[in-house]
Chain A
């Protein structure tokens, strides 16, 4: 109902709610930290109670941790897990096609959804060194689909990333198959300004929704290539009060969602 739409929310909260909507009930979700974790927990608390979370440090959960966590190694995240195991076991699930959806953040992205979290500006000469792949390269290569969450800024949305840490669709149709990737690809990009999906024929990012208050001009000004816009462009749904309350429970210190706007 329009009555319980919360008009006061931060971009991070909107992104978490959008991320949650992308998870279907019963899916096996490779969970990262930060906003993706909150998205997963929100999905489980709402429409996807049977979703299963797998964590690369060696854990599988089917219920939220009993207390809010900041890292996946926090003891509440290991408490009453349904499986505690090796990283190789979790990666086996990913590589053998058991993971339906994963989340990745990016420092730099291009129009085919390739991500860079390693070297901004490349290596020769040496540019800015970022922390690296972690599991992101694996998730981009091997999940049945992956969802990208990141801030939308011109310096991040570039025509071609300087270094591919996590492969998207490479340079277009057929690239993933010829590279030898067995499945997958980016399905959605959730940003601070809007959401993109990928054209099945061109494999290029297409704007599918604008966040409330954001214009096409805002998005284009923050994107380093002429964006494609869906003929069925929508407005991203507002977060609801129950959704915001749930997110607040999972991140009471607002460590990930940030201070109130």
Chain B
């Protein structure tokens, strides 16, 4: 009998994100960002983390501001609709934070190499750029068959991937729909996978549509039921993006003092994920609900 992996988010972070871990998050770019898992990392005062992801819309900046992060391996860190991440900028400029500069393609290839069990993947990007000077995981090489110049992208195998999904059973079999970013390869490359799920469902629902499974269940270590766990980022089928939260964060992170107040209000005061939802309030959540549903037609996996 397979053992249930359904645990509280606080336990999942405690067990699978020790200080010094490398953590992959924000894997679907602007969508499905595991903000609740991020808040729990901040609440538990984790330290010396390495953050891995293509672009981070606000999440990495929060974790950096909270003092959790030693290094970032990413293509872009900031607040997508407002611009810079102020905590990120301060930390890099003071020397407190190391950055390995990627592009979206190099981080995708690094995780693909990790997923494929390879030491590197080749790419044609970054040639001529200065990314090589700030990323030891990029090396110039040539094709052994054609002699073509190539970029060799070193594999990245994170310690843990934080992945938000629409629904999962208690054994880690999950469904995701929407844009997929780099979640597939991150899920295969990472030693541990923590799923935060909007909904916990029966296994039967999952196995009736196996194309919607992006990460096979046997690779998942923990499943946490966290409704609205990606707020304020959007989740297909569940809720829209809360643009105001990102606009407010620009002002709430402008100075270290501003950010400390933000952290006190949105992280420390919300000891459980439900507390965060109470802070948001039902009206704000209702405004993000889907107004126009668009269901797909069922397909037949029969025999």
| Chain A interfacial positions (CB closer than 8 Å to B) | 33, 55-59, 66, 70-75, 78-80, 84-88, 91, 94-95, 118-119, 123, 126-138, 140-142, 163-167, 170, 175-176, 179-182, 255
Contact = CB atoms under 8 A, between A and B. Distances in A.
A72 B112 CA distance: 23
A134 B108 CA distance: 11
A142 B105 CA distance: 11
Contacts of B140: 180
A180 B127 contact: yes
A89 to B, nearest CB: 9
A77 to B, nearest CB: 9
A70 B57 CA distance: 13
Contacts of B127: 141, 167, 179-181
Interface string B91-124: 0110100010111110011001000000000011
Nearest to A165: B129
Contacts of A84: 177-180
A134 B179 contact: no
B28 interface: yes
Given A84-B179, A134-B54, A181-B124, 20 more contacts: A70-B243, A71-B57, A73-B29, A78-B178, A84-B178, A86-B184, A87-B181, A91-B104, A95-B105, A132-B99, A133-B129, A135-B105, A137-B105, A138-B104, A140-B129, A141-B129, A142-B105, A164-B128, A165-B129, A167-B128
Contacts of B125: 95, 137-138, 141-142
A138 B84 CA distance: 20
A143 B60 CA distance: 29
Interface string B124-152: 11111111011000001000000011100
B77 interface: yes
A150 to B, nearest CB: 13
A131 B28 CA distance: 18
Contact of A141 (B95, B102, B128): B128
B124 A74 contact: no
Contacts of A56: 29, 54, 104
B101 A133 contact: yes
Given A133-B75, A180-B127, A73 B93 contact: no
Contacts of B233: 73
Q: Identify the 3 closest CB pairs spanning chains A and B, nearest first.
A: A180-B149, A73-B30, A179-B128
Contacts of B148: 180
